Amino acid sequence: MSYRRIAQLHAARSAATSRALSRPRPRAVNRVVRTARVLVPVAPSPRRRAGAAGGHEQGGGLDWARRIELVTVVVAAVVAVAGLWYSNVQAREQRATEYEGQITDRYTAAVENLGDDAIDVRLGGIYALQRIMQDSVRDHPTIVNVLTAYIRSHAPLPEAPRRSAEAEDQKKEQSKPTEPDADVQAALSVLGRRNPIHDAGRTWIDLHRADLRGADLSSADLSSADLRGADLRGATLGSTDLSGADLLMANLRGADLDDADLSSADLRGTDLTGAGLRAADLTGAELSSADLRDADLRGAGLRDAGLRGADLRAADLTGADLSSADLTGADLRGADLRGANLRNCRVSAGQVAAAVLNAYTRLPSEIASDPKVWERAAHPLPAGAR
Exposure string over 219-237, b if 16+ CB within 10 A, otherwise e: ebbbbbbbbbbbbbbbbbb
- List the one residue out of 219, 265, 220, 271 whose CA is nearest residue 249: 271
**pLDDT computed for residue 163 by the predictor:** 59
Selection from 255, 261, 249 nearest residue 276 by Cα: 255
CA atoms within a 13 Å half-sphere pointing along the CA-CB vector of 265:
31
C-alpha 70/C-alpha 172 separation (Å) is: 94
Q: Is the dihedral angle over the CA atoms 223, 225, 229, 230 positive or is it negative?
A: negative
**pLDDT for 313:** 98
Residue 77 pLDDT:
82
Q: Provide the pLDDT for residue 169.
A: 56
The radius of gyration of the chain from alpha carbons, rounded to an integer in Å, stands at 41
The rounded distance, in Å, linking the Cα atoms of 273 and 295 is 6
Residues of the chain with confidence (pLDDT) below 50? 1-29, 31-33, 36, 38-43, 45-46, 48-54, 177, 381-386
3-state secondary structure of 51: helix
Give ∠ CA 276-281-287 in degrees, rounded to 5.
75
Contact 332, 353 (CB under 8 A): no
Residue 58: strand, helix, or coil:
helix
User: Which residue type occupies 44?
Assistant: P
- AA identity, residue 78: V
pLDDT digit string (tens) for 44-91?
Answer: 544 544 444 445 555 556 687 888 888 888 888 888 888 888 777 777
Q: Comparing C-alpha atoms, which of 259, 261, 263, 215 is closest to residue 235?
A: 215
Q: What are the extents of the domains in the chain?
A: 27-47+56-114
Per-residue confidence (pLDDT) for residue 1, from 0 to 100 = 45
Vertex 248 angle, CA 332 and 299, to 5°? 45
> DSSP secondary-structure letter at 362?
B
The contacts found for 230-233 with CB under 8 angstroms, 24 or more apart, are 230/157, 231/157
Burial class (CB in 10 A: 0-12, 13-18, 19+), 326: buried
pLDDT at 99: 67
Q: Which of 358, 357, 322 is nearest to 343 (CA)?
A: 322
Cα angle 216, 306, 152; round to 5: 30
